[in-house]
A and B are shown apart, each in its own frame.
Chain A
Amino acid sequence: MPSKRDLDLLHVVAKAPPPVRLSSVRDRMRGEALDLMRVEKLADAAYSYRIVELDTPVTETLRLTGEILHAPWLLPASGQLTALACAVCTVGPRLEARVSELFGQKRASLALALDGLGNELLFAASRQVQDRVLADVRRRKLTMCGELRPGDPGLGLDAHAAVLRLAQADAIAVSLRGGHTLMPLKSASIVMGVGIDLPAASWSRCDHCPSRAKCRIVERAEAETAL
């Protein structure tokens, strides 16, 4: 079960431009938040993932090692779905504790900047674990298709517990709190289809997002891709 702690992602985030254009004040606060993270070592990014074979026959209700996931979107138009890659990543508990503390001290601007940086770190951790899964899948001469996260259209929030168990989230101390909230809060779980000759997914988990049309993160990602 591949897992990794102490991911050094802070300098990745520090070098990257913020995901959305910031006012000069917010940009300054982001800089302060970065310094705070460095000095107080608030980032504790980690990931864990497993590629788990599916029981056969594969149906819309996917069964694997005793777990059941209803994820019909992951069924491919062609090829053979043979496994699911289940991953979880986190930026750790220290950051959110510090954000709460800052709010308590009525330093809301810095708290918000720190919280925003936490999101950036989580994106970076998520991308890193997905890259690792993709490389691992390819080394096994398999292909990958489709990405869902519990709570997306196509994978209910009630799948969270099973996904965490499958990803062995306890290895990086990520757990589920009542109401399907992840602890630490800045954590994410991912499910991806794995198999033989899977075609590229014709859908994205963002397709049905009501904010998609005006999403500046999507806009920037598309602009970067086009370069």
Chain B
Amino acid sequence: MNPAQDFAIKIIGERINPGFKSTRALFDNQDLAGIQALAIKQAEAGARYQNVNIGAQALTDPQWMARVIEAIQEVVTTPLSFDFPSKAVQEICLSCYDPAKANGELPIVNSITEHRWDLMELYGRFKFKVIMMASERVENGKALGNKTAEQIYSTARRAALRLKNDYGMPLDDIFIDMSVSAIIADTEGLNRSTVEAIQAIGADPELKGVHMMGGLSNIGQQLPPKAADGSDLKHCLENAFLTLTVPHGFDYVLGTPWRGYAPLPEDHHVLKTYRNFLEQSGSNALRAVRKFYKA
């Protein structure tokens, strides 16, 4: 249950989220003990933080959300990450959170974007770390999706320095969410952009200290379970992504703590195929995807 991560990465446990079938039942039944048990399992499996997402109920029943946070803190000392886009909800979460029960560690607000910056109005009244999504930027007052490495990198840089300079937030408290998209339909080179943006952020001396993170579960979506060499395709793809990005500073995964990640050797089929895929665009990218599972 506690696989050592072979990468220099830490895990933000993602299981307290009704998006997981088994967790949804706990929320549907308001099963606090079940949620506590899940938090304990994630902590015991080495989660550095635990992400808390209670879905739409957060808006309709803030009291329930407060009970969830208090219940989790009753049984684990892992600091929490609050996964809600609403300022009102974040305010309740931060009010409920007791740093003393997490060995003095700050919670994480998950997440802000350049377009959704209002959550930072809570900074000062509350101390917290923040996850900043680099996948969108604001231009002429409009939110636009980032597609190129340059756009992702510039957004991340601008936001991180704004947090540092305008709010006095230590770079160590900033987590840049590098969205990792599914390769199955990635004809626009989004994976390549993400990998290159990670390299650029990691190489920027002014950003030294920021963390880079992301969820990896999208990357292998809708692919067959086995790669052409018989390996677990989804898991190997996640490891391939990490093999390429951890050396450049990608250091947190929003994931399942007991999943276990390890670098792939250079000659591993999935890593070689992923490298090839990253060089392709358009229909060539789709053809490259087939090579993961077709001999």
Contacts and interface: CB of A to CB of B under 8 A. Distances in A.
Interface of A: 8, 11-12, 15-16, 127-128, 130-132, 134-135, 138-139, 200, 224-227
Interface in B221-236: 235
B121 interface: no
A12 B29 contact: yes
A9 to B, nearest CB: 8
B259 interface: yes
Nearest to B235: A226
A132 B75 CA distance: 11
Contact of B2 (A12, A131, A200, A227): A200
B34 A131 contact: yes
Give the residue among B1, B25, B28, B44 with the most A Cβ atoms within 10 A.
Answer: B25
B40 A134 contact: yes
Contacts, number: 52
Give the residue among A8, A15, A138, A224 with the most B Cβ atoms within 10 A.
Answer: A138
A224 B6 CA distance: 22
A8 B31 CA distance: 11
A200 B170 CA distance: 36
Contact of B33 (A16, A132, A200): A132
18 contacts: A8-B29, A11-B28, A11-B29, A12-B25, A12-B28, A16-B21, A16-B25, A128-B34, A134-B40, A135-B33, A138-B36, A139-B75, A200-B1, A200-B44, A224-B22, A225-B258, A226-B235, A227-B20
Contacts of B2: 200
A200 B37 CA distance: 15
Top-3 shortest CB links A-B: A131-B37, A135-B36, A138-B75
Contacts of B235: 226
Interface string B200-233: 0000000000000000010000000000000000
B75 A131 contact: no
Interface of A is mostly: helix
Interface string B15-49: 00000111011001101011011001000100000
A15 B258 contact: no
A15 B31 CA distance: 15
Contacts of B190: none
Interface of B is mostly: helix
A188 to B, nearest CB: 17
Contacts of A227: 20, 217, 256
Contacts of A225: 256, 258
Given A8-B29, A131-B31, A132-B33, 5 more contacts: A132-B37, A135-B33, A135-B40, A139-B74, A225-B256
B76 interface: yes
Contacts of A15: 24-25, 28
A131 B25 contact: no
A178 B34 CA distance: 34
A36 to B, nearest CB: 22
B255 to A, nearest CB: 10
Contacts of B75: 135, 138-139
B230 to A, nearest CB: 16
Interface string B224-264: 00000000000100000000000000000000101100000
Given A16-B25, A138-B40, A139-B74, A131 B20 contact: no
Given A16-B25, A138-B76, A128 B33 contact: yes
A16 B34 CA distance: 16
A219 to B, nearest CB: 13
